[in-house]
Amino acid sequence: MSFSQLPLSDSSNEGPREGLVIRSQAGYLTVRTDNGDVQARLRGRLRRGRAEGDLVAVGDRVRVAIHDDGTGSIEEVLPRKTVFSRQLSGVGYDYQQIILANPDLALLVFACTEPNPSLRMLDRFLVVTERARITAVIVVNKVDLMPLEQVDNLFGMYRAIGYDVIYASAVTGQGIEALRECMRGKLSTLAGPSGVGKSSLLNKVMPGLNLQVGEVSEGVGRGKGRHTTQVRQLYPLEGGGYVADVPGLRTLALWDIQDEELDAYFVEIAPLVPECQFNDCSHSHEPGCAVRKAAESGRIDPRRYASYLRLRFGDPQEDDEL
């Protein structure tokens, strides 16, 4: 903001500043502005009523009014470009928890082993990112523990359908430069199950960061205290951009997805759908189904087809928990 735009009659020292929320802990937010960091709270009137989701989150651009003591009030959350979020249930109502606001990129981290990767979980993550129009990069960590051929057997299919896949090891340093490259200048987050090595990878990408490794970082039990105690934080990257380290996600519920809508989020299935004989084809039992035919011939990986059917016809809560 230039000086000429400052309101002259404002009672505080200066007018509201625009900034980026880089840290959030139990309602206390750190906003990074051109003139330094400000500790802020969300203004009372923005907090009124029962929230259906996080009102402000790390990654949000906000306008913050500065008080005489240097702290701030967030007056306005600017419209989000993208949102990486998940639905929390089990608190009596559904709540949209924002993992990161305005991400350019989501790095979906899975280990090739220890813990064994749940590809169904990865497919769910991909549905979420496709739906939210967030670019996803798949990071396969701990490749030091498995021969390349076996890693390819698990994850090669994602490359084949067009995703960027980075093979990495926080132990040998493989893939670290590639990670740095794709994060540079962007707002991104790592996301994935607990214990896959997200914090370890970030420590390698940003030497000196010293994130805790090997800690169980999400609250025990379902639905307990999940959106009160977590600290969420963005780390500034050398060469620009920010990255978030998110505690292991054990659940990633999909919500409100219409059956036919799912087609669009499986990138290799979507282009085949117009070839199905019936235009309301569910790709399960119908004659003349191009999708099923492709799965049978191997053109679509049968594991992805199974994931699709599970998401479309399975109990939505069934495999929430890893």
Ligand X SMILES: Nc1nc2c(ncn2[C@@H]2O[C@H](COP(=O)(O)OP(=O)(O)OP(=O)(O)O)[C@@H](O)[C@H]2O)c(=O)[nH]1
Q: Where along the sequence are the contacts to ligand X (CB under 6 A)?
A: 141-142, 144-145, 169-171, 194-200, 213-214, 216-217, 247-248
Site for Mg ion in 138-157 (CB under 5 A): none
Distance from C-alpha of 108 to C-alpha of 113, rounded to nearest angstrom = 15
Q: Number of residues interacting with Mg ion: please give it, by CB under 5 A.
A: 2
Distance from C-alpha of 134 to C-alpha of 132, rounded to nearest angstrom = 5
The one of ligand X, Zn ion, Mg ion, none whose footprint includes residue 276, by CB under 5 to 8 A per kind, is Zn ion
Query: Which residue lies nearer to Zn ion by CB, 244 or 291?
Result: 291
**Closest separation in Å from C-beta 77 to ligand X:** 27
Residue with tokens 């996600």: 249
**Closest separation in Å from C-beta 276 to Zn ion:** 3
Contact 209, 127 (CB under 8 A): no
Query: Among 82, 102, 199, 307, which residue interacts with Mg ion (rule: CB under 5 A)?
Result: 199
Query: Which residue lies nearer to Zn ion by CB, 122 or 281?
Result: 281
Distance from C-alpha of 37 to C-alpha of 269, rounded to nearest angstrom = 46
* Among candidate residues 285, 287, 284, 291, the one with its CA nearest the CA of residue 266: 291
The one of Zn ion, ligand X, Mg ion, none whose footprint includes residue 200, by CB under 5 to 8 A per kind, is ligand X
**Closest separation in Å from C-beta 316 to Zn ion:** 21
**Cis omega (within 30 of 0) for bond into 115:** yes
Query: Which residue lies nearer to Zn ion by CB, 146 or 289?
Result: 289
The one of Mg ion, Zn ion, ligand X, none whose footprint includes residue 195, by CB under 5 to 8 A per kind, is ligand X
**Which span (139-147, 158-166, 275-283, 295-303) binds Zn ion, by CB under 5 A?**
275-283
SS3 77: strand
Listed in sequence order, the residues at least 6 apart from 127 whose beta carbon sits closer than 8 Å to its beta carbon are 254, 257, 262, 265, 266, 311
Distance from C-alpha of 19 to C-alpha of 38, rounded to nearest angstrom = 9
Using CB under 5 A as the criterion, which residues of the chain lie in contact with Zn ion when the complex forms?
276, 281, 283, 289, 291
Using CB under 5 A as the criterion, which residues of the chain lie in contact with Mg ion when the complex forms?
198-199
